[in-house]
Structure 1
Amino acid sequence: MKDLKVPKLYTIKTTPKETLEKWYRLLTVGRAIDEKAPNYLKQAIGWSYHAPYAGHDGIQLAIGQHFEKNKDHIFPYYRDMLTALSCGMTAEEIILNGISKATDPSSGGRHMSNHLAKPEWNIHSVSSATGNHTLHAVGVARAIKYYDEKVVSISSQGESSVSEGYVYEAITGADKEELPVVFVFQDNGYGISVPKKDQTAQRKVANNFSGFKNTRIIHCNGKDVFDSMNAMAEAKRFAIEESKPVILQANCVRMGSHSNSDDHLLYRSDAERNYVTEYDPLGKFRRLLLRYNRFSEEELQTIEADTKAVIKAAHKAAMAAPDPTPESIHDFVFAEPMVSEKYPEGLHNEEGEKKKFITALNETLKAEFRENPDTFIWGQDMANKDKGGIFNVSKGMQQEFGEKRVFNGPIAEDFILGTANGMSRYDEKIRVVVEGAEFADYFWPAMEQYVDTSHDYWRSNGKFSPNITIRLASGGYIGGGMYHSQNIEGSLAAIPGVRIVYPSFADDAAGLLRTSLRSKGLTMFMEPKTLYQDPKAATVVPDDFEVPFGKARVRREGTDLTIITYGNTTHLSLDAAKKLAEEGLANVEVIDLRSLVPLDEEAILNSVKKTNKVLVVHEDKVFGGFGGELSAILNEKAFEYLDAPIKRVGSTYTPVGFNRILERAVLPNVERIYNAAKELIEY
């Protein structure tokens, strides 16, 4: 969208003196902290990461002055120290973050210094993956538009991070959905030591988006306070009044090195460094105040003396603050799950008509959407006319709940999950369900967002919980081949902060999905797609059935051998156990884990103490699969009860082939499970 003229609301002559004084105090306090930060590292006190903002003063002051706490939402990046100060954070709070104290409002010392946040004010915590918070800003803006609030979502970043693919996904999505979000690009010409010419063909990276239909582009001088103030005011006005995105490109200079681990003397000439010092925004603003007789030299010196006192007091208070305790590392890893009073073990004895796995999922989703009107679902190819997802799990939902709660996402897995993260930040009552990809194998582009979201609760020191359920159609036995038949839970389980569930039967699918949607936190919900229509997985499903996380289910009781399994291989294991019983060889106990993270260790150990032999069976590869973790736990905690080595059955260490002959050669089957069990029994 063509850049329109920006009205000049702020000038050196017309801006009230009290406003100018406020700005000068913020500018001087910010610069004093910016210059003092490296000294903490030199004294081994902390602040091991500091990205100085000097040269970005104008635009950062403007961003913060146009942020309205508890109404607007802002996602600052690691160089946004003055932005945070201008938003209302105190010098003491910024130093607490820098030296990683327990009372640091950003993260309690859990996140890198210079990552400033105050979630209770809507100053959001962002990760170190540069630019990824653009997706979160878009997700918040989607919620702002849905709930019809006249506020704005602000995303701030350096120009080099725009090279990231998910930034393009974010801006493309905001443009398509016409969302009230302002993307601020603070352009200082460098990505660490990489000059802008090596990042983009455009001299101004914002112009890469000039062809976007609904996105307005505004350029300003980020070194100049008044130009930045006017540009930010217009950007916010346009985003709110027009409900459309704005890119605000602010030309800045980086007066120092990228960070305290970088040395710009290695790649910047004396002439360039002298130039950026000459264009110091703080110095320019001070000269303007004097030139236009808005302040006297004595008045400015009084403010500067006050600044020194502010910094001294903030330093003293921050140094006296407590450090985090070692024990606190276990706090806020997982958000609080719903506790089921009616079904504490996730079991029932109800009789009646059996429902298929897919029916249980569909009916549970609809029931929960009726129960909580602040529940949303989106994903690829899942809401068009009579189609509801590639497997029709969400069939009929858009017709009942409307296009604003049930809608298609673009073919951009990072965007799907990243905007879920953002939308869940708007209000903790919101629950989001996403089909993270059409098949679990396609989820990998979303892994950056998955990792970020996994530690949001921990990183924010319990201040923000992404209340999201990720549904993935997983596994093989469908002749799908690569990208359609793989298992990924073994890889995901190593990332803390996410519950991973993997039901095998319709009632457990309904119960775990209901628990996921009613709980706080992030849940990965794996659906063995070959069971969607399989009569073997059909069960009676009680109304409002709930299955707590971390509760395994004994699917077959036995005394001679324990099979630990989940998903598709639960049914194969039951068939193998039945065959062994019919042949009089063994009475096998089959434990369906249902929940991998958290894991029901108690149920596993109790069974092993009874049978003394263990066979671990899953569909994923044996090498690197989740069964390796199960074996290690048993070796550490149940070795004295074992009468034989632990055996594992799973896929071969290969991709899953497309040809059915190749698929059968890769995936576990009843015969392999039977033979492995028989070997253990005869051991």
Structure 2
Amino acid sequence: MSDIPKIHSINKTDKETLLKWYRLLFLGRTLDEKAPNYLKQAIGWSYHAPAAGHDGIQLAIGQVFDRSKDHLFPYYRDLVTNVAAGLTAEEIIYNGISKDADVAGGGRHMSNHFAKPEWNIHNVSSCTGNHTLHAVGVARAIKTYEAKGVAISSQGESSVSEGYVYEAINGASKEELPVIFVFQDNGYGISVPKKDQTANRKVARNFEGFKHLRIMYCNGKDVFDSMNTMAEASKWAEENQKPVIVHANCVRIHSHSNSDRHELYRDDNELGYVKEYDPIAKYKRLLIRYNRATEEELSAIEKEVADEVKVAHRKGMAAPHPTPESANDFVIPEPYVSSKYPDGTHNQDGEPMKLIQGLNETLKAEFRKNPDTYLWGQDIANKDKGGIFNVSKGMQQEFGKKRVFNAPIAEDFIMGTANGMVRYNKNIRVVVEGAEFADYFWPAMEQFVETTHEYWRTKGQFSPNITVRLASGGYIGGGLYHSQNIEGALTTFPGVRVVYPSFADDAAGLLRTSMRSEGMTMFMEPKALYNAPKAATPIPDDFEVPFGKARVRREGTDLSIFTYGNTTHMCLEAAEKLEKEGFGSVEVVDLRSLSPLDNETILESVKKTSRALVVHEDKVFAGFGGEVASLINTDGFEYLDAPVRRVGSSFTPVGFNRTLEAAILPNTDKIFDAAKDLLAY
């Protein structure tokens, strides 16, 4: 582009740099061409997306990246990018053949997903383009802490069709963040030509109306044009604290990956054309034509690289695989442990406080304790309003707009930028309202799933220290999207904690533990209990509740009811009525924590009463209660005098009309009848 100062050219760039670039390009290409051989020999590298044809822009990304201040989010085709950023042949091969020594994560992630977290080269997902949101989150942290550096996100042009990419660029534009979005345009999304992806021939033009966003175009096949463009983009983004799109025109010389056959959709003319525009061949010709290097010098580099790759290959082959036992390591970080309240109970002294007040005061206390704590979400801070239910009331006034702010109506953006921001500093704790109601969380599920396996995938190198608050459940006449329960789906994922309190003190204590712990916690808030007097309790100022510790709310000898959330109060009412009417003594166990689950307390209760009823608001079919029932049947079968029974919603959505809602959701009478039948079994 005419406004880009030509820092680099074949004549202006010093010879040492030119030869260094050739070495990096040739090393990247050598590894790129060697990768399929490992698969052919059944050694590994079973996923390989060739970088050939993208060499110019990838060299530029890696060389412009400064690991002392920048953050790089490469995608699966960025082999040359990672080599240019400093990864060795050895590290590339360890990743390709999934060895334990792989610096990206010890072979836990798909091959060709190169990373080095300790250098801020982040381990990204196979979900194309989703790391754009993480880059925006890191860029937010860079700006918040007034630091130097930029976040660089790299991807193919077709993945820009993903909705979360638009969310990322919209958010970066709105917040004016120092992030560079590199689109490596090779014309195809696997076999789908870009004309089937977007109306614009250059996808970057889709974003021309975005304010605060600079768009730059370059020839990604040309080393100098790519280098000048990336250097200018980095300088401009950092100095102006605004986002840049770099659209690099590339060619894809080979198939999309080793599972693709490009001859099925590309003719001989096209295949010949892309080989003719090989960036390395062009760069080599320039070096020789302009007398910047001799054939002999380049041949010497090529031999040196070949020898280096041979050594790296031998080391890779000799390196150990991960052990089977290690599969269970780094699933989730160890949580914060309370020394004052080890079992999550207290003496109940003091005036009762409503659940919503307990949450609000705990949030404020933790924000005062840790200045690296942040809160955002939809509708959470505007003048005197603090969220749909006012849980965050007064927080922006006290802690300012840098720490408490509204997010766009984009659940993926809310989750994805949380994942990104906490990468910047291990002390950062982020609390997000993942959606205004739990039912609206589904658009964020891709980012949720991504975040659940970050700690495991990186072999403990990155922990997403995030608490996701969700107003959950029914009994408010909300109907669809305002009354459903989603905890049954959330608990199927390793790498996340899921808690669901029933009383104000447990809500406050679990929130404090969540915010002080490393790792992600889904904090389900029973919104029907926010202001309910029956959920109000005294709350000590520093109360903490451990994960995985249930609370016996009522002692009994003849039947155990296991429950959580809204139905806990119904179970207590049913238990009182059952005993009063002479049907038996009923124990009510409030699970509080669903994942991890307190297996010990559950089994001890069943051992004592010999009967078990599992009650929750969600549907019985495929609901979380099935896991509790299975635990009892598997590990407590010899204690049982009757089958385990369950009470929950019918297998329908929750209706809006109050008559429909009452018919669908469990209530005290339904629990009473089920418990009475079980006691009489």
Q: So what's the TM-score if we normalise by structure 1? A: 0.99
Deviation at 1:4, TM superposition (A): 6.9
CA distance in 2, matches of 1:34, 1:524: 41
Provide the rounded CA distance (Å) in 2 between the counterparts of 1:68 and 1:590: 57
Deviation for aligned residue 1:150 = 1.6
* Superposition deviation, residue 287 in structure 1: 0.5
- Secondary structure (helix, strand or coil) at the match of 1:70 reads coil
Aligned counterparts, 1:42-81, within 5 A = 42-81=40-79
Cα distance in structure 2, aligned partners of 1:574 and 1:327: 43
Match of 1:137 among 135, 138, 149: 135
Asked if structure 1 preserves the Cα contact closer than 8 Å seen for 2:547 and 2:596, the reply is yes
Residue 5 (structure 1) shift:
1.4
Per the alignment, residue 180 of structure 1 pairs with 178
1:202 counterpart (200, 203, 206):
200
Q: Which residue of 2 aligns with 1:299?
A: 297
Q: Which of these residues, 650, 653, 656, is aligned with residue 651 of structure 2?
A: 653
2-structure distance, mates of 1:120, 1:4? 37
Aligned to 2:633: 635
Give the SS at the match of 1:554.
strand
Q: Which runs of 5+ in 1 are unaligned?
A: none
Aligned length: 681
Moved more, 335-344 or 478-487: 335-344
Tell whether the 8 Å contact from 1:70 to 1:120 is kept in structure 2 after alignment: no
Which residue in 1 is equivalent to 2:455? Answer: 457
2:284 corresponds to which letter in structure 1?
A: R
Q: Secondary structure at the match of 1:426?
A: coil
In the alignment, the residues of structure 2 paired with residue 523 and residue 70 of structure 1 have an alpha-carbon distance, to the nearest angstrom, of 31
Per the alignment, residue 189 of structure 2 pairs with: 191
Contact 2:432 2:466 survives alignment (8 Å): yes
Is the CA contact 1:618–1:627 (under 8 Å) kept in the aligned structure 2? yes
SS of residue matched to 1:425: coil
Cα drift, residue 495 of structure 1:
1.1
2:2, 2:464 → 1: CA distance?
37
Partner of 1:278: 276
Question: For the residues of structure 1 that align with 2:473 and 2:397, how far apart are their CA atoms?
Answer: 29
Return structure 1 stretches of 4+ with deviation > 6 angstroms.
Answer: none
Structure 1 position 212 matched with structure 2 position 227? no
**Aligned counterpart for 1:666 among listed residues 653, 664, 673:** 664
* 2:355 pairs with one of 357, 361, 371: 357
Aligned residue for 2:374, secondary structure, equals strand
Aligned mates of 1:335, 1:75 — CA distance in 2: 23
Root mean square deviation of aligned Cα: 0.6
Tell me if structure 2 keeps the 8 A contact 1:72–1:152: yes
1:328 maps to 2:309? no
Shift of 1:335: 1.3
Query: Which one-letter code corresponds to 1:617 in the other structure?
Result: V
> Residue 675 of structure 1 aligns with which residue?
673
Measured after TM superposition, the shift of residue 653 of structure 1 is: 0.3
For 2:506 and 2:324, the matched residues in 1 are separated by: 37
Give the 5 Å matches for 1:384-533.
384-533=382-531
What are the residue-to-residue correspondences of 1:84-233 with 2, within 5 Å?
Answer: 84-233=82-231
Task: Tell whether the 8 Å contact from 2:177 to 2:241 is kept in structure 1 after alignment.
Answer: yes
TM-score by length of 2: 1.00
Amino acid of the structure 2 residue aligned with 1:499: R
- Structure 1 counterpart SS, 2:589: strand
Q: Deviations over 1:176-208 (max 9, x none)?
A: 100000000000000000001000110100011
Residue 359 of structure 1 aligns to a residue whose secondary structure is helix
Task: Please state whether the residue corresponding to 1:329 is helix, strand or coil.
Answer: helix
Q: 1:269 aligns with which of 267, 270, 293?
A: 267
What one-letter code is carried by the residue in structure 2 that aligns with 1:90? T
CA deviation map 1:547-590 (0-9, x unaligned): 00000000000000000000000000000000011112111000
Structure 2 unmatched runs, 5+: none
Aligned-partner SS, 1:247: strand
SS in 1 for 2:422: helix
Amino acid at match of 2:355: F
Once residues 92 and 300 of structure 2 are traced to their aligned partners in structure 1, the CA distance between those partners, rounded to angstroms, is 23
- What is the CA deviation profile of residues 11-45 of structure 1, one whole-angstrom value per residue up to 9, with x for unaligned ones? 10010111011101100110000000000000000
Q: CA deviation at 1:350?
A: 3.6
Aligned to 2:16: 18
1:444-470, Cα deviation, whole Å (9 max, x unpaired): 000000000000000111100000000
What's the CA shift for 1:496? 1.0
Q: Which amino acid aligns with 1:147?
A: Y
Whether the aligned pair in 1 keeps the contact of 2:379 and 2:406 (CA below 8 Å) is yes
1:97-119 C-alpha deviation (Å, 9 max, x unpaired) = 00000010011010000001111
8 Å contact from structure 1 (residues 482, 656) kept in 2: yes
AA matched with 2:143: K
CA distance in 2, matches of 1:317, 1:676: 64
1:343 aligns with 2:341: yes
Counterpart contact for 2:652–2:664, Cα < 8 Å: yes
2:348, 2:537 within 8 Å by CA — same for their partners in 1? Answer: no
Question: Matched residue of 1:473: which SS?
Answer: strand
Percent sequence identity is 73
Q: In structure 2, what residue type is equivalent to 1:91?
A: A
Instruction: Using the TM superposition, name which of 142-151 and 341-350 deviates more.
Output: 341-350
**Distance (Å, rounded) in 2 between the aligned partners of 1:646 and 1:663:** 26
Asked if the contact 2:465–2:518 (Cα under 8 Å) also holds between the matched residues in 1, the reply is yes
Indicate if the aligned counterparts of 1:473 and 1:528 stay in contact, CA closer than 8 A. Answer: yes
Is 1:248 equivalent to 2:246 in the alignment?
yes
* 1:476-513, Cα deviation, whole Å (9 max, x unpaired): 00000000000000011111111000000000000000
Residue 648 of structure 1: SS of its match in structure 2? strand
How many angstroms does 1:70 deviate by? 3.2
Contact 2:95 2:102 in 1 (8 A): yes
Aligned to 1:34: 32
Aligned AA (2:19): E
Matching residue's letter, 1:202: N
Q: 2:154–2:183: 8 Å Cα contact kept in structure 1?
A: yes
